[in-house]
Amino acid sequence: MLCCLGMTDELVFLLRERYTQEKIGFTVKKALLIDGHNILFKYFLGMPRVFTSVDGRAVHGAYGMIGALLKTIQRFQPERVVVCFDTAVPSERVELLSTYKANRPQFFAEGENPFEQIDIVYDSLRYLSLSYLSIEGVEADDLIGSYARLLERDYEVIILSADRDYLQLVNERISLCVQRGKNETLFTPELVKEQFGVEPDQFVDYKALIGDSSDNIKGVPGIGPKTAAQLLQQYGSLEQVYLRLAELKPKMAATLQEYEQRLQINRRIVAIQDQYPVDQLLLTELDSQKILHLSVRQVFIQLGVFQEKIVAQKMVVKDPVEEGK
């Protein structure tokens, strides 16, 4: 018998569902949410530039991204898939912090811009009948967060991205998949706690304290990951830390008082907005017969990016997506 005394409705729902599934052996439906630009940039910067199209264009970023997407679909076999992209229009986070992401590399020279390959990515997604989405002024993080919240009652949600900000969304129904070569890490609440020392719902406060160099967000001087985790383990949240500053060492209390405004801004920037009115109808119902046995080479041949004879010659080149290097 499942005791529900003192639990929230959401927690009761999740526990009852897990209990029922374990009893009857039911397999949960899966939804895969993909951070498009994050994955494209990862492979654009990390893949060797040996992959070129029939007209001589560099296609290594698109090749790596579509390869990773196919690999992940074949691994999890989700029922629903959507790929979310950023746009060139800045989000409201830039209004909060003018230097937000200002340290990101600028690509000016021909062949040095990952967006030069985005048309191949879109063509590949259309060929695979996979939905993709972008909204001006809305970051992919927020679209994915909104889809995750929309779907978590009916699906096990897997987010594919190398962005650790998604850890704030992780719960019993939402996980973050981070791939690095052959290695894959699927972040659950337990793994978040093990690796960072905080619960997923404390991750926004944690990142606000330590900052994020990849997004050009400065944390509180003198507070690193260990100290931030200790504060949140002891007090639970930043709000409680500030209510009990008198219990801290004077130097720590003074530093937190000095940087209180920065922390409030950091929290608003780091927090994923998960209440956008996204449309569940945009989610692709996976055509498993078409996708589960495809390779990225086959996709690129069908699109005319590769010629079959050229692909055959390049088969001797080790592919980091498939070889894990």
Architecture of domain 28-188+273-323: 3-Layer(aba) Sandwich (3.40)
- Residue 53's pLDDT is 94
Q: Is the pLDDT of residue 12 over 50?
A: no
- Residue 9's pLDDT is 45
Please tell me the number of Cα atoms within 13 Å of 211 on its side-chain side.
16
Average pLDDT over residues 246-266: 96
- Residue 18's pLDDT is 54
Report the alpha-carbon distance of residue 159 to residue 141 in Å, rounded: 10
Average predicted confidence (pLDDT) for the chain: 87
Cα separation values, 232 from 21, 211, 221, 224, Å = 34, 15, 17, 12
Q: Is the pLDDT of residue 7 over 90?
A: no
State the CB neighbour count (10 A cutoff) for residue 37.
23
Q: Bigger pLDDT: 52 or 3?
A: 52
Q: Is the pLDDT of residue 3 over 80?
A: no
Q: Which fold has domain 200-270?
A: DNA polymerase; domain 1 (1.10.150)
Report the alpha-carbon distance of residue 56 to residue 254 in Å, rounded: 59
88: exposed, middle or buried (Cβ count in 10 Å: 0-12, 13-18, 19+): exposed
Q: Is the pLDDT of residue 4 over 90?
A: no
Q: Bigger pLDDT: 284 or 297?
A: 297
- Residue 24's pLDDT is 42
- Residue 106's pLDDT is 66
Q: Is the pLDDT of residue 190 over 70?
A: yes
Q: Is the pLDDT of residue 31 over 90?
A: yes
Domain boundaries, the chain: 28-188+273-323, 200-270
- Going by pLDDT thresholds of 50, 70 and 90, the confidence category of residue 231 is very high
Report the alpha-carbon distance of residue 158 to residue 72 in Å, rounded: 10
Average pLDDT over residues 41-54: 92
Type of residue at 286: L
Q: Do domains 28-188+273-323 and 200-270 have the same CATH topology?
A: no
SS3 198: coil
Q: Which of 39-43, 91-95, 134-138, 253-257 has the lowest mean pLDDT?
A: 91-95
